Amino acid sequence: MPIRAYKRILLKLSGEVLAGKTGYGIDGTMLDYLAKEVQSVVELGTQVAIVIGGGNIFRGIHGERRGIPRASGDQIGMLATVMNSLALQETLRSFHIPTQIQSAIEIRSIVEPFIRQKALHYLEDGHVIIFAAGTGHPFFTTDTAAALRAIEINAEAILKATKVDGVYSADPVLDPTATRFEQITYFEVLQQRLKVMDLTAISLCMEHHVPIIVFNLNVAGNVKRIVLGETIGTLVNNEGKG
């Protein structure tokens, strides 16, 4: 078996990823694609946790434009992440990958509540675990939830899936002169206000020394390449070269 660079990872997915090319809802083709990416590292023996957003269904911040209070909008968004988690769980199980969901809000008739020790047991037993409902509190993003859960389960890295191949000095779509960082520090991300994860998530990762790898999910095999130690995307840590 190839030598793994990471034994336990947390994969952060945006809800928009699940929409695929449709732009809204849940696309079955994308679910299968994600399952294959996860399967490729599970087969290496890597323990995988996942946090997924709900933006393909609802975003709390957008609800404010319709007169929905932000706290209520965020609660709707949390429930959207549960729906996404259920869809991903069933797809992973159809690939014969044992998968469990733990939710930050209690919906016991559908999913388990988050219990740290039980989550660790699932991971050590070879199960993929999906953490749903963000942090369980409004005004916190699923980026922050990903950082929090990664710290709680002692993940060796957060793999932040995006549509681009790393962190750039500016939006590469809007600025053709933007340059990509191969490695950068948390402080530089905060100082330059680079859109990696929200400020709370970056601060948590900096304080607890959890590296973040920002990579292009649309390149098949990238998750496995990262787990095997290849230099893919941008590494955010305390030793970045800027």
> In 3D, which of 187, 195, 200 has the Cα closest to residue 237?
187
Q: Look at the chain and count its residues.
A: 242
Q: Is 118 exposed, middle or buried (0-12, 13-18, 19+ CB in 10 A)?
A: middle
Residue 74 annotated as binding site: yes
199 is known to lie in a ligand binding site: no
Are residues 47 and 8 in contact, defined by beta-carbon separation less than 8 angstroms? yes
Residue 58, marked binder: no
Q: At which residue do the structure tokens 């990471």 appear?
A: 6
Residue 168 marked as a ligand binder:
yes
Task: Check the annotation: does 114 bind a ligand.
Answer: no
CB count, 10 Å around CB of 193? 8
59 is in an annotated binding site: yes
Q: According to the annotation, is 142 in a ligand binding site?
A: yes
Residue 137 is labelled as binding a ligand: yes
Is 92 annotated among the ligand-binding residues? no
Please tell me whether 136 is known to bind a ligand: yes
- Asked if residue 126 belongs to a known ligand binding site, the reply is no
**Known binder of ligand: residue 55?**
yes
**74: helix, coil or strand?**
helix
**135 a known binding residue?**
yes
Q: Any known ligand binding at 140?
A: yes
Known binding-site residue numbers for ATP: 12-15, 55, 59, 162, 168, 171
Known binding-site residue numbers: 12-15, 54-55, 59, 74, 135-142, 162, 168, 171
Known binding-site residue numbers for UMP: 54, 74, 135-142
